[in-house]
Structure 1
Amino acid sequence: MNQAASTDAAAVPPPPAAPVTSRRLATRDWALIVACAVAVGALGVGWSTQQRLRVLEKELIKRQDDSQGESAQALLLAKQAQDASREAGARVALLDARVSEAALQRTQIEDLIQSLSRSRDENVVADVDAALRVALQQSTITGSTEPLLHALQQADERLQRYNQPRLERVRRALARDLDRVKAVGVSDLSTLTLKLDELVRLVDELPLLAATESRRAPAAAPRSASASEAGASAASWNDHLSAWWDAWPARAWDEVRSLVRVARVQQPEALLLAPEQMYFLRENLKLRLLNARLALLSRQYATAQSDMRDAQGALERYFDPGSRRVQVASDLLKQVAGQTKQVSLPRPDETLAALAAAAAGR
């Protein structure tokens, strides 16, 4: 009888679970699914951030290598400038020696003329010829037409006071040589070097394009606080997750807007200059201008033109073209480059030939 009762009790099915327990299990599954989705999204954001950090690290390494290369180039240019300065000093010493030699030759010629017993006409012709040859040497050494022009004018005035009919041919040749020498436009090296010195002084005051764009960059937009307010005022876990999920795109967009700014730039590499690169850029521009100045003093006009073209390119590439100072410096550099030109000095061959004919008695 007891066995029958137990069998009847085992055959009776258990009562069904309460509805409250099933609802709890459904809520727990839904929360688990949402947590998994959030974890997957977090992993995606983390992977994207890691990739971005790797790209930034590569860019920083590249910029560091470029900075070191430009630093080495600046040091090399400084060494070249020192070598050019020493070479220019040696050339100036050689020019002084030649001028002294020319002065000694002129003194010897004058002593020789005074020691010889010649007629008055022969002395005048010899003096004019010697003065013109010495002036021609001085013009060749200094690269200026002033000594030759002054000697021709003095010779013309002397022959005019002498008033000898047989020397009229020499006077006509002198007039033609004077016109030819006056027509030659020779660069005024002193004025050009002063302009280059002024440009070197202005380099530190010129605004760079990178510094100007950084000052013009807009401030980052304030971050949205809707997610925090929703989280503070939410009453349930589901509402909190929904509010956070809705506010996440706005937060991401605010972060991107605060880090990235899109603008149209003609020279993109001009905006990537670091502060130390800006310093070396200015020093490099100064070295270019100083090299052009030394080349002008040495009358190496091709080298001076090349250095000034490089300086003009640097002004147009890295400095703010809208700045008044940059425009003034660019115009001044263009003026110097336009006035720097190689001019062959004329020779008073016609006057020398006329003097030789007059000394020969023809």
Structure 2
Amino acid sequence: MTEPSTLPEAEPSPAQAPAAAQVAASAAASPEPAAMPPSAELTKSTPVGLPGARWVWPVLVALVVALVAMAWWLNNRLYATQAEIAQRLQTATTDAIEAKTLTKQASDSVRDLTTRLAVLESRQQDFAAQRQALETLYADFAKTRDQARLSETGQLIALAQQQAQLIGNVQPLIATLQSADARLARSPNPKAQILRRAVQSDLTRLRSAVTPDIAAAAHKLNDLAALVDSLRLVSAAGPAHGASAPGTPPVASASAAGPRWAPWLGDWFERFRASLVQLFGITRVGSRDALLASPQQGEFLRENLKLRILNARLDLLSRNAVAYRSDMRGIDEALKTYFDKRQPRMVQALSLARQAAQLDLSANPAANLESLAVLSTLDSGAP
């Protein structure tokens, strides 16, 4: 048998000899460690930190995002609040300006009415002064009895004419003319007979003439002004009470043929239908501003309507036909626009306004009297 051939081992170089000897000595000194699992090696190689350290950054990012969102929401909320406050301030300023304007208009109207009242008082004083002057002239006038009687008759007729034109009632003028006719009938003076024929002609014309009753119209305007505070505005009106749907059949009587529960069911249905009718209501409004009127604006509307009625009354007393018709149209439009027409007092107010508006101030039968023209001719000495 042949022995296996062996290769000679390579000898280490002189430079590697000390290192190899050191490694061999270290391997011989320490026992070979046991094999470790891969998880143990991974744990050993990963540095150990605080528990939950990997959630720190996500939490910080979430907090920053939440703070930014909250700041954005607060900024929007602050902007909306500022805008609402600015809008309310603007609305309050507008309301204050409107109230100031209405107050100024009311003050101007009161000032105008005060001026007109002063003018009427001045005219009344003038009439009183004229009457006093006429009485003085009558006392001093003593030429002849007939001439004094003619002058007295003429002055009384002129005074009665002014009174009739002022109050719009010709009854005092008719009474004065009748008294003058009776006085002139006892005079044998030819001039008195001529004047008497003129007086009789005026009496015939005045008795057949249609005269405006200013006192009755003024009384109607006073009643209308007293009703203004009790009228209900359209904006404050509710569903009409007691309204029922048209065309509903009557409830069957208890004696009608049918089950015993039929009358009870009919009564219950009628009560249910009446409740539905009172729950819903339809109102026709001519102006949308009437529905938006606040209680404060309602007070202004009532005061303005009262001033309009007072102005119409002054126009009535001063016999200003154009201004009176304009004021009455405004009163009628205000009543129909801003007040509820379903209330009974509203019907009464509209009736009073309509009756007062029908007065014709242009008719003035006491304007031209034939008796005064004849008296002027007689005083001038004309044949």
TM range (shorter): 0.5 to 0.7
Give the secondary-structure state (helix, strand or coil) at the position aligned to 2:186: helix
Give the structure 2 partner of residue 38 of structure 1: none
Q: Which secondary structure state, in structure 1, belongs to the residue aligned with residue 342 of structure 2?
A: coil
Q: Given the alignment, which residue of 309, 312, 319 partners 2:329?
A: 309
Q: CA deviation at 1:299?
A: 3.1
Q: Distance in 1 between matches of 2:126 and 2:98?
A: 41
Q: Which has the higher contact order (CA 8 A, sep 6+)?
A: 1
Q: 1:347 to 1:271 in 2, by over 3 A?
A: same
Distance 1:211 1:263 in 2: 12
SS at the partner of 1:343?
Answer: coil
User: CA shift at 1:71, angstroms?
Assistant: 2.4
Q: Highest Rg: 1 or 2?
A: 2
Q: Secondary structure at the match of 1:191?
A: helix
Q: CA deviation at 1:157?
A: 1.0
Change in Cα spacing, 1:325 to 1:97, as seen in structure 2 (3 Å) is closer
Structure 1 position 64, deviation (Å) = 5.7
What's 1:128 paired with? 153
For residue 91 of structure 1, report the CA deviation from its aligned partner: 1.5
Q: Distance in 2 between matches of 1:276 and 1:361?
A: 69
With the length of structure 1 as denominator, give the TM-score of the two structures: 0.60
Unaligned runs of 5+ in 1: 1-52, 217-260
State which of 111, 122, 131 in structure 2 corresponds to 1:103: 131
Cα deviation for residue 333 of structure 1 reads 0.7
Q: Is the 8 A contact 1:109 1:130 kept in 2?
A: no
Equivalent residue pairs, number = 266
Q: Residue 307 of structure 2: which of 287, 295, 307 is its match? A: 287
The match for 2:122 is 94
Distance 1:113 1:298, change over 3 A: same
| Residue 353 of structure 1 pairs with residue 378 of structure 2 | no
Q: Deviations over 1:19-56 (max 9, x none)?
A: xxxxxxxxxxxxxxxxxxxxxxxxxxxxxxxxxx9xx9
In the alignment, the residues of structure 2 paired with residue 62 and residue 328 of structure 1 have an alpha-carbon distance, to the nearest angstrom, of 41
Structure 2: gaps of 5 or more residues: 1-80, 242-280
Q: Matched residues, percent identical?
A: 28
Once the two structures are superposed, what CA deviation does each residue of 1:205-241 show, in whole Å capped at 9, x if it has no partner?
112222124899xxxxxxxxxxxxxxxxxxxxxxxxx
| Alpha-carbon distance in structure 2 between the residues aligned to 1:283 and 1:139 | 32
TM normalised by structure 2 equals 0.57
Pick the aligned partner of 1:208 from 222, 233, 236.
233
The 1:336–1:61 alpha-carbon spacing in structure 2 relative to 1, beyond 3 Å, is farther
2:110 maps to 82
RMSD: 4.0
Q: Distance in 2 between matches of 1:141 and 1:208?
A: 36
Q: Is the 8 A contact 1:200 1:286 kept in 2?
A: yes
Task: Provide the residue aligned with 1:220 in structure 2.
Answer: none
Residues in 2 aligned to 1:172 and 1:300: alpha-carbon distance in whole angstroms = 33
Matches within 5 A, 1:196-235: 196-213=221-238
- CA distance, structure 1, for counterparts of residue 87 and residue 292 of structure 2: 10
In structure 2, how many angstroms separate the alpha carbons of the residues matched to 1:102 and 1:333? Answer: 36
Rate the CA distance shift 1:198–1:167 in 2: closer, same or farther, 3 A. closer
Residue type of the alignment partner of 1:158: R
Larger CA deviation: 77-86 vs 139-148 = 139-148
The change in CA–CA distance for 1:320 and 1:57 in structure 2 (over 3 A counts) is farther
| Cα distance in 2 between the residues matched to 1:184 and 1:65 | 58
Change (3 A) 1:110 1:67: same
